[in-house]
Amino acid sequence: MRIRSLLFALVLFSGLACVFVAGVRAQTPARGAAAPAPARGSAQALAGQVHANLNQLMRGVLFINSNVLFAAQTQDPATVKRASEPSASTDPLTSVYGGWPAVEASALALAEAANLLTIPGRMCANGRPVPVRNVDWPKFVQGLRDAGMAAYKAAQSKDQEAIVLVTEDVAAACANCHNRYRDVPAGTARCQ
């Protein structure tokens, strides 16, 4: 009985060792080979996925949220009338989370969108890679992040004059990048 238990343990240990070695070999790429793609659903796989080109990202996230801030320059978010069905409203200022909370959320969305502008692999609409490795790109991205956070602080104060002042920083952050990469003749720097 004792020998049988010992033999069973030895076979089990040998089998586990083979599985371990095979797993390590499967995870280690051959010299010069590309590393395997991260497992679907893993934190590494989710961290850097790119689904939109730069133009789509601008239109879907940055344009919409900056417009909420710009609207708050002339409309006091505290007095914006909610939609008759706020849960179905497509206007952030009149939705369920409208008013000043919408301005706060939009400011944070701009700051968070700065992270999306740094993900490698994103392409411009014209098929060129987003210039994330250019020396000026991180500076422009940081300018957007800083402007978004300044707008968030102004929105938290619920002071419309503070929003008016900070939207100048938002507009400048956008213009810095647009002047360099978007609003130029078709050439080496253009990214649309």
**Model confidence pLDDT, tens digit, residues 3-57:** 444 444 444 444 434 433 444 344 444 444 444 555 656 555 556 789 999 999 9
Cβ atoms of 163 and 103 closer than 8 Å:
yes
Q: Which of 62, 46, 165, 58 is nearest to 109 (CA)?
A: 62
The predicted structure's pLDDT at residue 126: 87
pLDDT for 64-89, tens place per residue? 999 999 999 999 999 999 999 988 98
pTM of the entire predicted model: 0.74
Residue 47: what pLDDT? Answer: 61
Q: Which CATH number fits domain 51-182: 1.25.40, 3.30.70, 3.30.2010, 1.20.120?
A: 1.20.120
DSSP one-letter code for 131:
-
Rounded CA separation 181/176 (Å): 9
pLDDT per position as a tens digit, 116-162: 999 999 999 888 999 999 999 999 999 999 999 999 999 999 999 99
Q: What is the token pair recorded at 55?
A: 């133009």
Residue 103 gets the label, from left (phi > 0), alpha (psi -120 to 50) or beta, of alpha
Rg for the chain, CA atoms, rounded: 26
